[in-house]
Structure 1
Amino acid sequence: MELFVRLSGLLVVLLLGAGFRATGLLDAGRTARLNAVAYYVALPALIFVSTYDRAIGELLSLTLLGGLLFVLFATVGLAWLVHRNRASVGRRSVAVVQSYHSNLGYLGLPLVAATFNAEVTATASVVLGVVTLIQLPLSILLLSTLNGADAALGHELRGLAKNPVLGSLIAGLAVGSLGLTVPGPAATGLDLLGSIALPLALLCVGASLEVDLPSIDIGATGAVIGLKIFCMPALAWAVFSVLAVDAATFTAAVVMLGTPTAVSTFVFAVELGGDEEFASLNVFATTLVSMLTLFVLITLVN
């Protein structure tokens, strides 16, 4: 019951973000500033406090890495098979990318931190780092190749080196691996900053969602939902069960890969010639459906 109330609260915050955008309270400028606070302050703080007291060897293993790679690329392959015959190239490229590109940072890690213990949250931070390093350049490459757009892939890859999420992960793991200590007041302050990551992120996601009802392609959007929200976490469940990983690794991997399509895929679609309206609809639809499926996933792994 507590979990249901918590996820219902998350849905309310998400819808509040959409409502604030509709009424003008969260215009583009205010949303951008909230995004900056969430992305450059709250989320890095959450990642750092989740990992600074743990060595990298405790969290990252070849089994975890191999399982994540298998699930990600298996989902990419399935997405290509399902969407390969879409009439529009722009829609096909977006459908493939949005069937695997997970919202790990804005929704996944903050949700895990609010729901599970420190061990699961630390592992989820590593899942975030590993999958982001793969799915971000892969999505840019697919969209630019299929749509014939100039992706400036080198620029995007250089941007990864300045990514605050990855930087805070590396810093936290370095502190933990070297056995350094973080002063209590600093740790407490970072913990408080990290606690606002989820509500801020949900407001920003809600304020970014736009849906044009006449443009809905039920079949294509349904396929994206099926692959991203149902198939990917089910595949993760099967793979990590076979790999017989510990409970924290299993929980972190399944829940993180069960998150909806990332909002950033809409931005990539705009920049790289994808179907913008279709991309926006899929972000909205997968986010809405995931409120129910994440409740089921978290209940099952618990």
Structure 2
Amino acid sequence: MSSQIAIFTQIFTVTGPVFAMLVIGMVLKRSRLIDDHFISVASVLSYKALMPTLLFFGILRADLNTALQPKLIGYFYLATVLSFGWAWLWARRTVPAENRGLYVQGAFRGNCGIVGLALAASQYGDYGISVGGVMAGLIIVLFNVLSVIVLGVYSTSFKADVRSVIKDLARNPLILSVLAGLLASSAGVTLPKWIMVSADYFSSMTLPLALVCVGGTLSLSAFIDSGRIALSSSLFKVLWTPALFTLVAVLLGFEGRDLGMLYLFLASPTAAVSYVMARASGSDGKLAANIIAISTAISVVTIMAGLYILQSFSFI
């Protein structure tokens, strides 16, 4: 019994601060200490400056052989593609055509850059930031391509444009920071200590601020208006997909930190950017927002339960 309590305490030490930031964001928004304008500006700051700085210097500090894990990234890509196809097949049987694109996007597109990376950093420190940063940066390419495909199929006002997709990816600050970090690390670039310390000060704001912004966008009314479609898509993202593909990863021989990283990224809730994609495609923004809110809330339980199971059986 004492060992189980120790495992639970360790897991809560990892996950508690991350989800506490989400709750703080909700409380601050509800008490009007922050508003939509603050969230919008802070989100842009996190996306275009803070997070790229965190990823670049995290990878620069790491051994390149440690940060770049082809087997880990390859399996994560494969699991994402298979979960995308699985969700789409299920949606064709159970979801009205006008909501299928949103359902599928909510079911496979995870919040890896914020929640996943925050959990990885909390669990594995510098290893989590460097390896997780590469995973988060590279998966964005696949997320964007698959989202454009499925939303384009079911939207009458939004059609996939290969040139615009490639252009957006080429300007994505997270992708650029990961590539720059990999190039700098491989070239053996060293920077003065004052720059490294300054970067630490600046990037230390990244995850708390980003998590507070995500929390500020969540709404309790989403649980009242959720509906079957939003709940089903959320469960797909934070329960069925991570359970299946983590089990397959165990059978394939993944273990320790790599298995833990895979689980945290697979179990991350639906990405907030899916709401932006939904609005751009002319789809139901309210449904997209509900999926984000519900998956984030449920992930508090599922991530802790998954980590508890994996640690109890000594897989991680």
TM-score normalised per structure 2: 0.86
State the distance in 2 between where 1:190 and 1:76 align: 36
Match of 1:293 among 287, 294, 302: 302
Match of 2:133 among 125, 128, 148: 125
Spell out the pairing of 1:199-214 with structure 2 (5 A cutoff). Answer: 199-210=208-219, 211-212=221-222
Aligned residues: 301
Deviates more, 1:58-67 or 1:106-115: 58-67
Match of 1:179 among 188, 199, 219: 188
Give the conservation status (yes or no) of the 8 Å contact 1:144–1:273: no
| 1:220-278 per-position Cα deviation (integer Å, ceiling 9, x unaligned) | 23321221111222233233324434633322222111100001111111111222221
Counterpart in the other structure of 1:266: 275
Change (3 A) 1:56 1:7: closer
State the distance in 2 between where 1:251 and 1:213 align: 29
Match of 2:12 among 4, 23, 26: 4
Q: Does 1:49 align with 2:66?
A: no
Q: Does 1:188 align with 2:194?
A: no
State the distance in 2 between where 1:246 and 1:90 align: 41
Root-mean-square deviation over aligned CA pairs: 2.3
Counterpart in the other structure of 1:254: 263
Spell out the pairing of 1:8-27 with structure 2 (5 A cutoff). Answer: 8-27=16-35
State the distance in 2 between where 1:9 and 1:69 align: 28
Counterpart in the other structure of 1:68: 76
Gapped runs of 5+ residues in structure 2?
A: 1-8
**Percentage of matched positions with identical amino acids:** 24
Gapped runs of 5+ residues in structure 1?
A: none
Give the conservation status (yes or no) of the 8 Å contact 2:59–2:181: yes
State the distance in 1 between where 2:95 and 2:84 align: 19
Which secondary structure state, in structure 1, belongs to the residue aligned with residue 61 of structure 2? Answer: coil
Counterpart in the other structure of 2:118: 110
Counterpart in the other structure of 2:4: none
Give the conservation status (yes or no) of the 8 Å contact 2:69–2:131: no
Deviates more, 1:7-16 or 1:94-103: 7-16
TM-score normalised per structure 1: 0.89
Change (3 A) 1:119 1:22: closer
Letter of the 1:285 counterpart: I
State the distance in 2 between where 1:268 and 1:179 align: 38
Deviates more, 1:160-169 or 1:112-121: 112-121
Deviation at 1:86, TM superposition (A): 4.2
Which secondary structure state, in structure 1, belongs to the residue aligned with residue 158 of structure 2? Answer: coil
Deviates more, 1:205-214 or 1:68-77: 205-214
Q: Does 1:89 align with 2:115?
A: no
Deviation at 1:151, TM superposition (A): 4.1
State the distance in 2 between where 1:52 and 1:282 align: 35
State the distance in 2 between where 1:87 and 1:11 align: 30
Q: Does 1:34 align with 2:42?
A: yes
Match of 1:77 among 43, 65, 85: 85
Change (3 A) 1:175 1:266: same
> RCO greater where, 1 or 2, for CA within 8 Å and sep 6 or more?
1
Letter of the 1:222 counterpart: L
Change (3 A) 1:81 1:114: same
